[in-house]
Amino acid sequence: MTYKIPVYDINNEHSLSQTPNFNNKNALMKTDMVYQCEITNIVELTESEKLFQLKIINPIEAKIFSFLPGQFVMVEVPGFGEIPVSISGSTSRRGSVALCIRKVGKVTGILHKLKKGTMLGIRGPFGTHFPMKQMKGSNILLIAGGLGIAPLRAPIYWINEHRSDFENVHILYGVKTPEQILFDFQFDSWRKIYNYDIHVIVENSDKSWQGKTGLITDLFKDISIDVKNTYAIVCGPPAMFKFVCDYLNKQGLAMNQMFISLERRMHCGMGKCCRCMVGSTFTCVDGPVMDFWTVMNLKEAI
Q: Should residue 70 be labelled a site residue for ligand FAD when binding is judged by CB under 6 A? A: no
Q: Which residues of this chain interact with ligand FES, rule CB under 6 A?
A: 266-269, 271-276, 282, 284
Residues of span 88-107 touching ligand FAD by CB under 6 A? 88, 100-102, 104-107
Q: Which of the choices ligand FAD, ligand FES, none does residue 238 contact, using the CB cut-off of 5 to 8 A by kind?
A: none
Q: Is 164 exposed, middle or buried (0-12, 13-18, 19+ CB in 10 A)?
A: exposed
As a whole number of angstroms, the distance between CA 37 and CA 145 comes to 29
Size, binding site for ligand FAD by CB under 6 A: 24
Residues 6+ apart with CB under 8 A from 117: 38, 39
Q: In angstroms, give the least distance from the CB of 68 to ligand FAD.
A: 14
As a whole number of angstroms, the distance between CA 170 and CA 200 comes to 11
As a whole number of angstroms, the distance between CA 179 and CA 133 comes to 35
Q: Which of 77, 83, 258, 270 binds ligand FAD (CB under 6 A)?
A: 83
Q: Which residue is nearest to ligand FAD (CB)?
A: 105
Q: Should residue 235 be labelled a site residue for ligand FAD when binding is judged by CB under 6 A? A: no
Residues 6+ apart with CB under 8 A from 146: 174, 175, 176, 180, 236, 237
- Beta bridge partners, 38, equal 55, 119
Residues 6+ apart with CB under 8 A from 240: 145, 148, 174, 216, 234
Q: Should residue 175 be labelled a site residue for ligand FAD when binding is judged by CB under 6 A? A: no
Q: Should residue 31 be labelled a site residue for ligand FAD when binding is judged by CB under 6 A? A: no
Q: Which of 85, 142, 219, 289 binds ligand FAD (CB under 6 A)?
A: 85
Identify which of 49, 53, 51, 50 has the alpha carbon closest to the alpha carbon of residue 41.
53
Instruction: For residue 28, give the H/E element and its range.
Output: helix 25-32
Site string for ligand FAD, 241-280 (x = CB under 6 A): ----------------------xxxx--------------
Q: In angstroms, give the least distance from the CB of 104 to ligand FAD.
A: 4
Q: Should residue 150 be labelled a site residue for ligand FAD when binding is judged by CB under 6 A? A: yes
Residues lying near ligand FAD in the complex (CB under 6 A): 72, 81, 83-86, 88, 100-102, 104-109, 147, 150-151, 263-266, 288
